[in-house]
Chain A
Amino acid sequence: GESVGLHLPTLSVQEGDNSIINCAYSNSASDYFIWYKQESGKGPQFIIDIRSNMDKRQGQRVTVLLNKTVKHLSLQIAATQPGDSAVYFCAENDPDSNYQLIWGAGTKLIIKP
């Protein structure tokens, strides 16, 4: 079935550099996307979301870009810090549900000192 997928399972970034985590989705009917951060031993933490009527949304040190033409989503983290080490999941809404999300497998972000 249709699902969300991630290009890179692991991403290593130098501390202070910017991180870009990519995500592909295949359900063209999805209109809401969320990025979650999951630290080791913890539950997922909401980072930022974006609706399909937007191309870009910024938060504190994070930016989400949505390219509907190629069904691609990215999360940019500026000035990566050690505390950013985590697994990052993108998720898309299930168009047939008000609350169900379709989760990708995750990208592990490793910060090099």
Chain B
Amino acid sequence: NAGVMQNPRHLVRRRGQEARLRCSPMKGHSHVYWYRQLPEEGLKFMVYLQKENIIDESGMPKERFSAEFPKEGPSILRIQQVVRGDSAAYFCASSPVAGEHEQYFGPGTRLTVT
């Protein structure tokens, strides 16, 4: 039973480029959460999605960031025109039921903006 999968594990982008981060939830999970983690800090909630719906995007910057979870395929966190401040680890978590505190985390994508 595979856990939460994220790819790529490491991503390097130049300023102004786009970053696409993918997350496949655990089998049977239809709720996905994205978090950002800066070095030596805790995780910061960004967005909560169900299949084809954004439930809560209160933690996501209004500009340049978007997320989707299509009916088929992984959830995608998209960052347009990246800046150095976007460098961080981005984690995806999933849960089997709606709005669940016990979430299962993926290994993360470490984004470096040069």
Contact = CB atoms under 8 A, between A and B. Distances in A.
Interface residues of B, number: 25
Classify the secondary structure of B's interface with A.
loop
Interface stretch (B11-19, B69-77, B101-109): B101-109
B63 interface: no
Interface string B41-80: 1111100100000001001000000000000000000000
Interface in A89-106: 89, 91, 93, 97-101, 103-106
B45 A100 contact: yes
Interface of B: 4, 33, 40-45, 48, 56, 59, 91, 93, 95, 98-108
12 contacts: A34-B102, A41-B107, A42-B107, A43-B106, A44-B91, A98-B101, A99-B48, A99-B56, A99-B95, A99-B99, A101-B43, A106-B41
